Amino acid sequence: MSELTSAAPATNEAPEYKERSRWELFKRSTFWYSFTRDRVAMVCAFIFALFVSAALLAPVLAPTNPYDLAAIDIMDSELPPAWAEEGDERFLLGTDDQGRDLFSTILYGMRISLAIGLFAVVLQAFIGIVLGLMAGYFGGRIDSFLMRVADIQLSFSTMMVAIIVLAVFQASFGSELYSKLAMLMLILVIGIAEWPQYARTVRASVLAEKKKEYVEAARVMGFGSGRIMFRHILPNALSPILVISTVQIANAIISEAALSFLGLGMPVSQPSLGSLISSGFEYIFSGSWWITVIPGVVLVVLVLVLNLLGDWLRDVLNPKLYKG
């Protein structure tokens, strides 16, 4: 009742209605409002945007190209960051064991990590949304079958599946072919291993949505199942999908880093953040801490801001937690 009373004046001010642009609607939304009120979310979004743009602009920003073997001098290997005593002004964050500029390598590595995270999540979301929608909407046997498949998939941990698949692939096709297809393989493996997360979330919200009368209205109109699922139910079930997506991107980046650290991920010639950490790990006791620590810090910050953004998004999109 009191919600109604407090909402009443808002509906009264509507007589003159001008068509608002999407941007104006966005600026008036609760989403934008709570974003501007939440300092943590703003800082996180800023850092994330900074990382993404740095990764995208890597060819412009990076002083050297770490993929260009001709530009690398082995004599420059393991130089400490520029501020250290033995540092070299040319290499801001020092160099790794092969003499590559660490700053440039991190920029390019972040590119790879973000791309793998993003595409793996797109794949997960695609499989998960389609199967989750079908399970939730049709119910009955289709639901039981798909959800049991999901349970089986979940009972194997992502890492275990990934390690087995990647190791078998590497052993049977040789590491040459593997290093060419590494990125694709990582995306496929992480994408397929994690789809049940999406399928379960989507199914839960479909079950809630399909009881609502707008779905019945669509069926009375004679619309087909596909149209109802994708055009009517899916847009209303997007909020939880958005929330888990942020967390899933962070998870995929971590999985990729872990696999690369184990030597099953990106090859040394195209290092991701994970393989950089791994390549420096051997030198950490010989004093070359920066090769491991600096990409490690970048990875931790990247995953942290993604998780914090996901938390914030969950709070905003959950109407039960919405406070004035």
Partner 1 sequence: MSLLEVEGLRIEFPSRHGTAVAVKGVSFTVEKGEILGLVGESGAGKSTVGNAVIDLLSAPGVIAGGNIKLDNQTISGLHGEAMRKIRGRRIGFIFQDPMTSLNPLLTIETQMVETIMVNLDLDKAAAFEKAIELLESVGIPEPAIRIKQYPHQFSGGMRQRVVIAIALSGDPELIIADEPTTALDVSIQNQILELIRELCKKRQVGCLFVTHDMGVIANVTDRVAVMYMGDLVELGTTEQILCRPEHPYTQSLISAVPRTDVKLHRFPSVEYIEKAEGHQIDVKNHWLGEQEVFGNPSGDVLLKVKDVDLRFETQSAFFKKNRRYVQASNKVSFDVRPGETFGLVGESGSGKSTIARVIAGLYPPDAGSIEFAGQDITRLTEKERKPFRRQIQMVFQNPYSSMNARMTVRDIIAEPIRFHDLAESERQVNQIVSDLLDHVGLGRASGVKYPHEFSGGQRQRISIARALATRPRFLICDEPTSALDVSVQAQILNLLKDLQEELGLTMLFISHDLPVILQMCDRIGVMKMGSLVETGDTDRIFSDPQHEYTQHLISMMPRVENLSHEGLEIEAQVAHV
Where do contacts with partner 1 occur on this chain (CB under 8 A)? 1-11, 14, 17, 19, 33, 212-214, 216-224, 227, 232, 235-236, 238, 323-324
What is the closest distance, in whole angstroms, from the C-beta atom of residue 94 to partner 1 in the complex?
A: 49
Q: Which of 17/285 has CB closer to partner 1?
A: 17
In three-state secondary structure terms, 139 is coil
Q: Which of 75/221 has CB closer to partner 1?
A: 221
Q: Which of 20/90 has CB closer to partner 1?
A: 20
As a whole number of angstroms, the longest Cα–Cα distance in the chain is: 77
What is the closest distance, in whole angstroms, from the C-beta atom of residue 267 to partner 1 in the complex?
A: 44
Q: Which of 11/155 has CB closer to partner 1?
A: 11
CA 201, 203, 208: angle at the middle one, nearest 5?
100
Q: Which of 148/180 has CB closer to partner 1?
A: 148
- DSSP readout, 4-73? HHHHHHHHHT-SS-PPPPHHHHHHHSHHHHHHHH-HHHHHHHHHHHHHHHHHHTHHHH-SS-TT-GGG--
Q: Which of 17/83 has CB closer to partner 1?
A: 17
What is the closest distance, in whole angstroms, from the C-beta atom of residue 285 to partner 1 in the complex?
A: 56
What is the closest distance, in whole angstroms, from the C-beta atom of residue 242 to partner 1 in the complex?
A: 13
What is the closest distance, in whole angstroms, from the C-beta atom of residue 55 to partner 1 in the complex?
A: 32
Residue 323 phi, psi (nearest 5): -120, 115
Task: Please count the helices (runs of H) and the strands (runs of E) in the chain.
Answer: 15, 0
Element (H, E) at 250: helix 238-261
| Gap between the Cα atoms of 317 and 209, Å rounded | 16
- End-to-end Cα separation, the chain, in angstroms: 15
**Residues found in the chain:** 324
**Residue type (1 letter), 77:** S
Q: Which of 126/214 has CB closer to partner 1?
A: 214
Q: How many CA atoms lie within 13 A of 308 on its CB side?
A: 18
What is the closest distance, in whole angstroms, from the C-beta atom of residue 199 to partner 1 in the complex?
A: 21
